[in-house]
Structures are given as structure tokens and as C-alpha cells.
A and B are shown apart, each in its own frame.
Chain A
């Protein structure tokens, strides 16, 4: 469905992505893990078109994404790390932002309230501004915005960052539930292993700009790769090994 081939991205002399290959199948939930500064977010930004890659290709249903960017953009949703809700708009207009282009205001508002309910937020939240929401509520409102237009692919960037364990588990359950219900594909970027276990059909480990390992959660737990084992167990590694 979505394929990344040989993606390279540098900032000055630092090559952040060094030829990344990745495939996302239809209906699959892929979680990309990796330490801080290993290029996870840059990979996501390149796929979304927020950054231009220096080399490599991104294919959407077998054809280069560059030639069908507008169609692709209309078919995906994105949950940002800190939700990135628009401060100047009430919550329902944030959720309905894309819908308001194509349908009457009343219909878009009704869908927004329905999506807010799906993520556990009541209609009383709809007319509040993002500044009045807690971190967990903002994240859920961001999730409602990501699924508002019934996307075929949903991207999640560090979905549990900054949340307490209970709220993090709630967000993980919502993501898994939404992926299962809608049949959408999902790519999640995280270094939170509880998210990995709750969300992933398949796990990919990015290390220093290269895809180091890919497999299922069960395979991850029995993998021989030392770095992966340390990452999963949260064990410290000597700085000499080049951890950023």
C-alpha cells in the first residue's frame, strides 16, 4: 500500500536517514521504534511531505507519491505529538477542519461531535478552545481530527508522550480500536514499549538512520539482535556505542 525505498535525508553534513526501506500493508498497524535522534520523526515528515527527501522514493499503491500528493493527503489522518490543535478555533472546528471544505457546517459539526464521542469526549467539549483542555483531552481531540474524514492511513507521532500511564493506555486502546474498526492502516512512531505491545501488528527498529530490524511483537521478544533486546528491556548502553 505504502512503500519507502532507499530514503535519504541530510541536514548539513549529518545524514539522518541513510537509505530507509519500509512497507505498510493494507489494514496493518506498523510501529516504528528507535532511540531519540535516530530519524523516526524525519522519516514520518518525509512521508507526509513536510520535508523533501534528498534521495529515494515513496510509493503509494505502487506509483510514486510525488505525482499523487493531493489524493494521498486527502486519504490520511495524522495525530501530532502534542496534538497541534489550532488555538484560534474551537474543538469541533479543529476536528471538522477538513470536512468544512466539502460539506455544510451543520453536517460537519455533527460528524465532529460523533468523532469526539468515539474518542471519549462529550459534546460539551465541542465549543471549548484547545487551551481549556488537559493534555489527555487535547490528544484525544487530535485523534478525533485524525479520523474525522475516515482516512485509509493514519499516522501517529509519539501518541503517548507527556501522558500518565493510565491516559497513555487509554490512547493506545483507542488507536488499536480505531485501526481494527475502520480497517485503516497505521504507522506509529514511538519509543514507548507499552504502545508497541498495545498497537503493533509489526515492529520496525530504526537505528542511526537505517532500518535495523523488522518483525512481529512475538519475534521482537525473542530476537537475537542485542541492540533491540536492550531497547525493549530499557537497558542502558555505553555511550561509546554511539547512542545520540
Chain B
């Protein structure tokens, strides 16, 4: 086939897909507050139940970061920067990205599997026959729960990550506890924190949107649910990394 035609067809297909997903997201976001009890249930599932995995990830990442920066900093007599670099690194970059990726692994797959199973077992059709909009009932609460919860998870992860650095700094690297904490705060600016939280909200949207889109468009029985789950995690993870690059470029 003519390569120009092939490229054009692929571009049109991509544009059509992006348009469909954007309309789907818009419909979901527009139905905010339609089902508050469902929103509360999703806040529990997406936010509260993700806390352990995000906290543990942040703890080990902060601890490893402290060791790495101390080791690297020693090469040019700058190991004192450990508290500041750990704090800035966690808050601006690692907290949002790793938190987002962990939520993607846990939540995007769960949403896609749940909605995909509902699709292939006709539960979504049943919603329609019960005069209930599936987007309002299923998609909107998940989108809003993720947008609201992931920044909170990122904020908690930031604090735990800095604590992980502090634990290593004080107990392994010989830092004075008060000095470590003071240096962690001294170089941290408000925008560092806010930008990380904004990233968290964007990543939350990406995670829930991936799960909902692939779940709601599932076809082909159990194998289709498996494909939807994999696609949701892959799309959410790549989306988070790409969005992180774009947002970092915009913010800094």
C-alpha cells in the first residue's frame, strides 16, 4: 500500500481515537456529583486502599535516594545536600511519578477488570435498561475519586519519602536529626509541592480514564477482559510518564 496513504490512515485513526476518549472523559467529568454514594465507595477503593502501596514505595524510594545522593555527592564533597535533594526530588518528581505508577498498577487494572467483566456479563446493558446512564454511574465516580485522591496520596507519599531519607540520613549516614529536617525544609519552595500535587491530579485522571475506557470498550469474553486489563495498565503507565515530561516542561 502507498506509504502516504498508510500514514494518513494511521493519523486519522489516532485522531479519531483521541477524540472518542476526550468525549468519553468529558461526559464522565460532566456528571460530577450524580451518585455521591458511588463516589464515596471509589474514594475508599482508589484512595484509602492505595495508601499502603504508595507509602511503602515512597519510603524505600526516599531511603534509596538518600544513599545514592550521599554516595554520588561524596565525589565532589557535596554529601551535605542529601536532605535538600531528597526533599526536592521526592516532592517534584519521584513522589508524583512513582505514586502515580503504583496507583496505575493497582487501580487501572482493577477498574478495567471490573468494568470489562460488567460489559461481557451484560451488567452495563442492565444499567441502561434500568434507565441509568453507565457513564454517570460507573465512570464519573471513578474519574473524580482518582482526581481527588491521587494528589492526597502523592502528598502523603512525599512526607513518607522524606522520612525514608531522614531515617537513612540519621541512622546510617550520620546526619544530625534536627539539621537534616531543617535542611529538608530550607530549600523546598511552595511551588515544588503544588506542582507535584497538580501532577498527581493529572495522573489520577490518566489512571482512571485508562481503566474506564478499556473496561467500558471490552469485547470478546474473558480473553477480552484480560486484554483490557493489560492495555489499561500499559496506557496509564506510558501516559503518566509522557504527561510528567510535558508538565515538568511547563512548570519548570
Give the contact stretch, choosing among B20-28, B100-108, B124-132.
Answer: B124-132
Considering only residues 194-214 of chain A, those with a C-beta below 8 Å from chain B are none
* Interface of A: prevailing SS: loop
A70 with B131: CB separation less than 8 A? yes
B128 with A84: CB separation less than 8 A? no
Q: Write the A52-92 contact mask toward B (1 if CB under 8 angstroms, else 0).
A: 00000000000000000010011011101110111110000
> What's the Cα separation between A72 and B179 when bound, in Å?
71
Kindly identify which residue among B117, B118, B125, B130 contacts A98, using a CB–CB cutoff of 8 Å.
Answer: B130
A49 with B123: CB separation less than 8 A? no
A84 with B131: CB separation less than 8 A? no
> What's the Cα separation between A84 and B128 when bound, in Å?
12
B126 with A78: CB separation less than 8 A? yes
> What's the Cα separation between A78 and B118 when bound, in Å?
16
Q: Decide yes or no whether A97 CB sits under 8 A from chain B.
A: yes
Q: Decide yes or no whether B217 CB sits under 8 A from chain A.
A: no
B123 with A78: CB separation less than 8 A? no
B125 with A50: CB separation less than 8 A? yes
Q: Write the B112-127 contact mask toward A (1 if CB under 8 angstroms, else 0).
A: 0010011001110111
A80 with B125: CB separation less than 8 A? yes
Q: Decide yes or no whether A121 CB sits under 8 A from chain B.
A: no
B126 with A49: CB separation less than 8 A? no
| Size category, B interface | 10 to 19
Nearest residue (CB) in A for B126 is A84
Kindly identify which residue among B121, B122, B131 contacts A74, using a CB–CB cutoff of 8 Å.
Answer: B131
For the complex formed, measure the closest distance between the CB of B225 and the CB atoms of chain A, giving whole angstroms. 13
> What's the Cα separation between A78 and B127 when bound, in Å?
11
A97 with B132: CB separation less than 8 A? yes
Nearest residue (CB) in B for A142 is B126
Kindly identify which residue among A80, A87, A98 contacts B131, using a CB–CB cutoff of 8 Å.
Answer: A98
Nearest residue (CB) in B for A148 is B130
List residues of chain B with CB within 8 A of the CB of A78: 126, 129
A73 with B122: CB separation less than 8 A? no
Q: Decide yes or no whether A174 CB sits under 8 A from chain B.
A: no
**Residue among B123, B128, B130, B132 facing the most chain A CB atoms (10 A cut-off):** B130
B122 with A82: CB separation less than 8 A? yes
For the complex formed, measure the closest distance between the CB of B117 and the CB atoms of chain A, giving whole angstroms. 8
List residues of chain A with CB within 8 A of the CB of B123: 84-87
List residues of chain B with CB within 8 A of the CB of A97: 130, 132
B131 with A73: CB separation less than 8 A? yes
> What's the Cα separation between A26 and B131 when bound, in Å?
22
For the complex formed, measure the closest distance between the CB of A67 and the CB atoms of chain B, giving whole angstroms. 16
**Residue among A50, A70, A84, A88 facing the most chain B CB atoms (10 A cut-off):** A84
List residues of chain A with CB within 8 A of the CB of B125: 45, 48, 50, 80, 84
For the complex formed, measure the closest distance between the CB of B127 and the CB atoms of chain A, giving whole angstroms. 8
For the complex formed, measure the closest distance between the CB of A38 and the CB atoms of chain B, giving whole angstroms. 19
Nearest residue (CB) in B for A146 is B129
For the complex formed, measure the closest distance between the CB of B169 and the CB atoms of chain A, giving whole angstroms. 45
For the complex formed, measure the closest distance between the CB of A58 and the CB atoms of chain B, giving whole angstroms. 15
> What's the Cα separation between A152 and B125 when bound, in Å?
20
List residues of chain B with CB within 8 A of the CB of A45: 125
> What's the Cα separation between A87 and B141 when bound, in Å?
17
B126 with A80: CB separation less than 8 A? yes
List residues of chain A with CB within 8 A of the CB of B117: 87
Q: A70-B131, A73-B129, A74-B131 are in contact. List 13 more A-B contacts (CB 8 A).
A: A45-B125, A48-B128, A50-B125, A73-B131, A78-B126, A78-B129, A84-B121, A84-B122, A84-B123, A86-B123, A86-B126, A87-B118, A98-B130
Q: List 30 A-B contacts (CB under 8 A).
A: A45-B125, A48-B128, A48-B129, A50-B125, A50-B128, A70-B131, A73-B128, A73-B129, A73-B131, A76-B129, A77-B129, A78-B129, A80-B122, A80-B125, A80-B126, A81-B122, A82-B122, A84-B121, A84-B122, A84-B123, A84-B126, A85-B123, A85-B126, A86-B118, A86-B123, A87-B117, A87-B118, A87-B123, A97-B132, A98-B130
